[in-house]
Amino acid sequence: MRPDQTAVNWIAVDWGTSNLRVWAMGAEGIIGTASSDDGMGQLSPDQFEPALLALIAPWLGKGVTPVIACGMVGSRQGWHEAPYRAVPCPPLDRAGLVQVPVQDARITLHLVPGLKQMKPADVMRGEETQIAGALALHPAFDGVMCLPGTHSKWAQISAGEVVSFQTYMTGELFALLSEKSVLRHGMTGKGWDDAGFEAGLSAALSRPDRIGAQLFSLRAEGLLAGLSPEQERARLSGLLIGVELAAAKPYWLGQPVTLIGDESLCQLYARALSVQGVEARLLPATECTLAGLASLARPLETTS
């Protein structure tokens, strides 16, 4: 999409470790979108501005366009550090935005800070924007949000503030175990098996303390009992999500959960929660990210 430059009020940026995604925002919402694999992890400090301009230059006009970016771009290894804000606090705060000097006079750039929790120690960057977006879409929300992913986050939300949160390395463990460990031999391909997922989930939820033994059992059952690659893969997913749910029990026990993230992953979490009698509502991640950034953009649009 190549929108009319004069219609672009501001630019939304989600800049993670592996990807850069940008949206041209007009009065009625999204009017253009682009992405690249210039993630924070691949760039040195002086490469950030060119990587951004490579995507957004077609949207820039004669005036100054505000750009607001969330995600790992604001980490110490990113473009410029946007120091964590400490919970309990609202997920976003205009006063916490960090303006970064840029070479190109056609833009201003603001980075969104992540959140930190001192005890137990925890951090997030990017998810605070999705949480704020979910709150913008559902202002009366009070309760528990879960953002499944590489590093899944569980957050307790009350009166518009993130009260506490907890991170689980579930997605990263799944990738490492299914692609780099001895278990990879038994789970070639991308196949899936619902019964395998449920078996893993139930094993991990009933005996999460036995996860150390349950993992190698996958390999052994593949060798001895002819477990199929689909079954092994789905059971590994069930085991890891089950261990996460076991540890996150104080968050979801007896409460509905709002899931924000990749839809098929959220569906898995919703199924796992429903086995525990917990109702889940799904919100799409991108919609939340944009709603969160938009809540910060409004004053910038009028003042820039």
Q: What are the angstrom distances between the C-alpha of 33 and each of 14, 26, 29, 155, 255?
A: 11, 12, 11, 29, 36
How far apart CA 101 and CA 105 sit, in angstroms, is 10
String marking each residue 63-102 x if it binds a second copy according to CB under 8 A: ---------------------x------------------
Q: Where are the beta strands (DSSP E) in 90-211?
A: 98-100, 107-111, 115-117, 122-124, 143-147, 152-158, 161-168
166 belongs to the binding site for a second copy (CB under 8 A): yes
Binders of a second copy in range 190-219 (CB under 8 A) = 208-213, 215-217, 219
Distance of CA 207 to the CA centre of its chain: 28
Closest contact distance (angstroms) between CB of 11 and a second copy is 28
Torsion sign over Cα 45, 291, 287, 133? positive
Give least dist CB 221 to a second copy, A.
4
Closest CB to a second copy among 28 and 209? 209
DSSP 139: T
Contact between 176 and a second copy by CB under 8 A: the answer reads: yes
Prior bond to 208 cis, omega within 30?
A: no
Our finding on whether 221 is near a second copy (CB under 8 A) is yes
The answer to the question of residue 170 lying near a second copy (CB under 8 A) is yes
Residues 229-268 that bind a second copy (CB under 8 A): 240, 243-244, 246-248
Is 184 one of the binding residues for a second copy (CB under 8 A)?
no
Task: Check residue 144 for interaction with a second copy (CB under 8 A).
Answer: no
Closer to a second copy by CB, 257 or 290: give it. Answer: 257
Per CB under 8 A, 226 contacts a second copy: no
Q: How many CA atoms lie within 13 A of 71 on its CB side?
A: 20
Q: Is 89 exposed, middle or buried (0-12, 13-18, 19+ CB in 10 A)?
A: middle
Please tell me the count of residues contacting a second copy according to CB under 8 A.
42
Environment class of 267 (CB within 10 Å of its CB; exposed 0-12, middle 13-18, buried 19+) = middle
- Burial of 287 per CB tally in 10 Å (0-12, 13-18, 19+): middle
The one among 177, 257, 260, 272 contacting a second copy by CB under 8 A: 177
Which residues, numbered 33-62, are part of the site for a second copy (CB under 8 A)?
Answer: none
CB of 12 to a second copy, least distance (A): 25
CB of 143 to a second copy, least distance (A): 20
| Token pair of 21 as six digits | 């995604």
Q: Which positions lie near a second copy, rule CB under 8 A?
A: 84, 116-118, 120-123, 151, 166-170, 172-173, 176-177, 180-182, 208-213, 215-217, 219-221, 223-225, 240, 243-244, 246-248
